[in-house]
Copies of this chain bind each other. A is one copy, B any other.
Amino acid sequence: MGFDDSSSERTSEAAIEAVLTVATDPVPPRLLAELLELPADRIESICARIAASYEREGRGFRLARVAGGYRLQSHEAYAGYVERFVLDGSPQRLSPAALETLAVVAYKQPVSRAQISAIRGVNADGVLKLLTARGYVEPVGRDAGPGQPVLFGTTSLFLERLGLDSLAGLPPLADFVPPPATVEVLEQALRPEPGV
């Protein structure tokens, strides 16, 4: 439980836990070091302590070191519950919002996360994560502009599931003209600087 920790040590532990809670991908120790303004080796030792405490307390999650970073993940001892949850509790079909996001990627690829969010009017992170995890969407490159945002496109699995040979098989949007605001957002992809 660490009652012998200094309070700043506890704060560092909790700050790392907070960041890992919201992270969707493994967080490199270097990034944690920047956030907490601590040397990387301190981060490593703090993370080791957190991991040990979860293990000792028999928590349902663990702190794993994967792909060059740390992430929270479910403990394999409870994989049975997680499997049933994924089967019963996770969406059986795409929500209308998710389908619309997928459609934007399909028709307007390559597009950045920020462009999708701007078109949809809501943060698209969660949906993109889901679509990527299911293999319908993947990163296809980076924009040349500042921050070099990742650009997304659809996968061959996506084509396969829709029964299409190629993207050319998507039914045309015909004479549909998007409203000016949408056009503006999309055109930014064609400029050297995305400005998003």
A residues 5-24 in Cβ contact with B at 8 Å? 10, 13-24
Chain A interface, DSSP helix/strand/loop, else mixed:
helix
A residues 66-110 in Cβ contact with B at 8 Å? 72-75, 77-79, 81-82, 84-86, 88-91, 97
Instruction: Indicate with 1 or 0, residue by residue over A6-49, a CB within 8 angstroms of chain B CB atoms.
Output: 00001001111111111110010001001110000000000000
Q: A77 is contacted by which of B14, B75, B123, B133 (Cβ under 8 Å)?
A: B14
Are A84 and B35 interface neighbours, CB within 8 A?
A: yes
Q: A121 is contacted by which of B14, B17, B74, B133 (Cβ under 8 Å)?
A: B133
- Number of copies of this chain that the complex holds: 2
Are B91 and A123 interface neighbours, CB within 8 A?
A: yes
Complex CA distance for A31 and B19, rounded to whole angstroms:
27
Complex CA distance for A15 and B58, rounded to whole angstroms:
10
Are A19 and B82 interface neighbours, CB within 8 A?
A: yes
A141, CB-defined interface residue at 8 Å: no
Which residue of B has the minimal Cβ distance to A81? Answer: B15
A184, CB-defined interface residue at 8 Å: no
Are A19 and B122 interface neighbours, CB within 8 A?
A: no
Are B97 and A121 interface neighbours, CB within 8 A?
A: no
A145, CB-defined interface residue at 8 Å: no
Are A73 and B21 interface neighbours, CB within 8 A?
A: yes
5 contacts between A and B (CB under 8 A): A15-B81, A21-B60, A21-B74, A121-B133, A121-B134
Known A14-B75, A15-B81, A21-B61; further 6 A-B contacts with Cβ < 8 A: A17-B61, A17-B78, A18-B81, A19-B74, A19-B82, A21-B73
